[in-house]
Amino acid sequence: MKNTHNNRQWFGFSEDKVFGEIMSNPAFCRHVLQGILPEIPIKKIFPPKKQEVIIDPEHRNQKDVRLDILVEDINGNLYNIEMQRSDDDDIARRMRYYASKNDQRYTLHQGYTYNDLKNVFIIFLCTFKTKQKVAIKSTYQTINVDNHADILQDGLTKIIINSNGVPDGTETETLLNLVKLMKDLPVHGDKLFDKAQKRIESMNADPEWRDTIMDFETRMLER
């Protein structure tokens, strides 16, 4: 969040409500996912779900989770995309918990085998600065600590995108554009990002949207 030239707060892509609105656009969401995961052909996705709450009524003492964006592609891969603006030093364990909740709710139904578990990608978009230099994109999988080339095929991939990370030359143009958007920097030459930026501008110019965003921000602070 920043101030505009007329001293009004600017709600950028990283603000929860704005993020949900922009990423719930299937074309833009698929475009972003393909930019993050160029090695996986993502031909089509189903409409993304935003602010999806996972509650286990049989275990009321368990911590519930609210997923920023949850989307499935035509091949059955599941993507959970989260925006993280503050460094609470718990991202690794939070990703573990979110993965377990995704498995519990969405990936395996009664009568199926463990081989039917969906591939799950937990993707955190982080805007905070880290104490040490990090790459823009860091990918984590389960490996054999005695042989790092041996990857356990458990179908779980965790990815951290840090907008303050250092590029290493492997990033796609779409990923670099995503980083710019996360930092409220202008993006040029990409039609889908053009539409996203125009939508963000229109949300900031709409009094009703601004009230909705500020009310949500206030509720989050009061939690």
Element housing 34 (H / E): helix 26-36
Output the pLDDT for position 6.
56
Tell me the per-residue pLDDT of 63-89, one tens digit each, with 9 for 90 and over: 777 889 999 999 999 999 999 998 878
Output the pLDDT for position 5.
42
∠174-179-183 over CA atoms, to 5°?
A: 145
Long-range contacts at 168-177 (CB < 8 A, ≥ 24 apart): 168/135, 168/136, 170/137, 171/136, 171/137, 172/35, 172/36, 172/38, 173/35, 174/31, 174/32, 174/34, 174/35, 174/36, 175/35, 175/36, 175/136, 175/137, 176/136, 177/35
Give me the mean pLDDT over the 83-102 stretch: 90
Output the pLDDT for position 222.
55
Give me the mean pLDDT over the 102-125 stretch: 89
The pLDDT mean for the chain works out to 90
Q: Which residue would you say has higher pLDDT here, 170 or 220?
A: 170
Give me the mean pLDDT over the 96-102 stretch: 92
User: Positive or negative CA dihedral for 58, 62, 65, 70?
Assistant: negative
What 3-state class would DSSP assign to 117? coil
42 burial (CB, 10 Å; 0-12 / 13-18 / 19+) is buried
Least confident of 49-58, 131-140, 162-171: 49-58
Output the pLDDT for position 164.
95
Q: Which residue would you say has higher pLDDT here, 59 or 185?
A: 185
Percent of the chain with pLDDT over 90: 70
Output the pLDDT for position 56.
64
Complete edge-to-edge strand list for the sheet that includes strand 49-54: 49-54, 65-72, 78-84, 120-126, 156-162, 137-140
Q: Is the pLDDT at 221 greater than 80, yes or no?
A: no
Tell me the per-residue pLDDT of 12-58, one tens digit each, with 9 for 90 and over: 999 999 999 999 999 999 999 999 999 999 999 999 999 887 766 55
pTM of the model: 0.90
Output the pLDDT for position 32.
98
Output the pLDDT for position 38.
97
Do 155 and 118 form a contact (C-beta atoms < 8 A)? yes
